[in-house]
Amino acid sequence: MSEFQNIGLIGRTKSDSAVLSLKRLMAFLEKEGYSVVLEKNTADDVDNHAARVSSKDRLGELCDLVIVVGGDGSLLAAARAMAKFSVPLLGINRGRLGFLTDITPDEIELKVSEVLAGKYMAESRFLLDMSVTRNGKQIGKGSSLNDVVIHPGEYIRMIEFDLYIDGQFVYTQRSDGLIVSTPTGSTAYALSGGGPIMHPKLDAIVVVPLNPHALSSRPIVVEGSSEFKIIVSQDNTEHSYVTCDGHDQVITQPGDVIRIHKKPHRLTLVHPLEHNFYETCRSKLNWQVN
């Protein structure tokens, strides 16, 4: 008997291709005798089903495995919701790049059946917690699997801030912002900003300046246990923004303090046995193969 009996499904809503793959997956799971639980928003896009329906907040309590049908953005959202339940995630790619969702639509039955039979590899990934305080009072928070980004928001203007790591002053910087990224996020926005590719198993965090007003400002890789404090300068004339995985957003004011640290709950990602990080990089980033 499979260790996974209750399977939660989250689909990329408003995507016809994702819904088609979702229905195909549901038919396969139900035929094989598994109990299927649909996330509520996902269920709204699936007609004539008899599956149980659950809010995303409760899905992690009801399921042994959650399968995400969509792109990396869909899996990021699921990761933020599921991490506290320690329920593993498996991704079927119906997006564009697919760094995290690594099963293709045409191999759903084959690869999912292998995973359910215990033929899989599991990776532990950490997330980041972010909070913003104003005059000592918390005004916003969020979590991310990829990154926390400080940026100018709707105005293309440089912002100024002070960066501290583990209580030690690093620098005062004027730039378009700052990316604080996990190894998982190192192949996302941080890579576009000039940051290094980090293996997912690393216990490290990379800090990537966005177009800094100093040629000597470069990405910094630090321990995963590091605590970050970013003080928004009083000299800023516009409000800067803080976003988590491009989702949760907080608008800051001069003098606000942004704190970032590793989340206590870790996420387990499930992959087919042949999953290879370097092969993923070769195929997704178009590395030359002779």
Q: What is the pLDDT of residues 81-132, one digit of tens each?
A: 999 998 999 999 987 777 888 899 999 999 999 999 999 999 999 999 999 9
Residue 176, marked binder? yes
Residue 190, marked binder? yes
72 is a catalytic site residue? yes
Residue 196 sits in the same domain as residue 237: yes
Residue 137 sits in the same domain as residue 224: yes
CATH of the domain at 193: 2.60.200.30
Residue 255 sits in the same domain as residue 146: yes
DSSP summary character for residue 103: B
Backbone torsions φ then ψ of 240, nearest 5 degrees: -90, 160
pTM over 0.75: yes
Q: Among residues 69, 97, 118, which one ends one of the domains?
A: 118
Residue 192, marked binder? yes
- Residue 289 maps to a domain: no
Choose the catalytic residue: 72, 102, 245, 256: 72
What would the two tokens of residue 231 be? 């003080």
Backbone torsions φ then ψ of 254, nearest 5 degrees: -55, 135
Confirm if 76 and 100 have CB atoms less than 8 A apart: yes
Q: Among residues 86, 118, 150, which one ends one of the domains?
A: 118
Confirm if 71 and 14 have CB atoms less than 8 A apart: no
Residue 72, marked binder? yes
Of 200, 211, 208, 151, the closest CA to residue 181 belongs to: 208
Residue 259 sits in the same domain as residue 147: yes
- Residue 153 maps to a domain: yes
Q: What is the pLDDT of residues 185-228, one digit of tens each?
A: 999 999 999 999 999 999 999 999 999 988 889 999 999 999 99
Length of the chain equals 290
Residue 50 sits in the same domain as residue 159: no
Number of domains the chain contains: 2
CB-based burial, 227-252: b 16+ in 10 Å, e otherwise: ebbbbbeeebeebbbbbbbeebebeb
Residue 87 sits in the same domain as residue 63: yes
Residue 206 pLDDT: 98
In which domain, by residue range, is 80 found?
A: 6-118
CA distance 218 to 215: 8
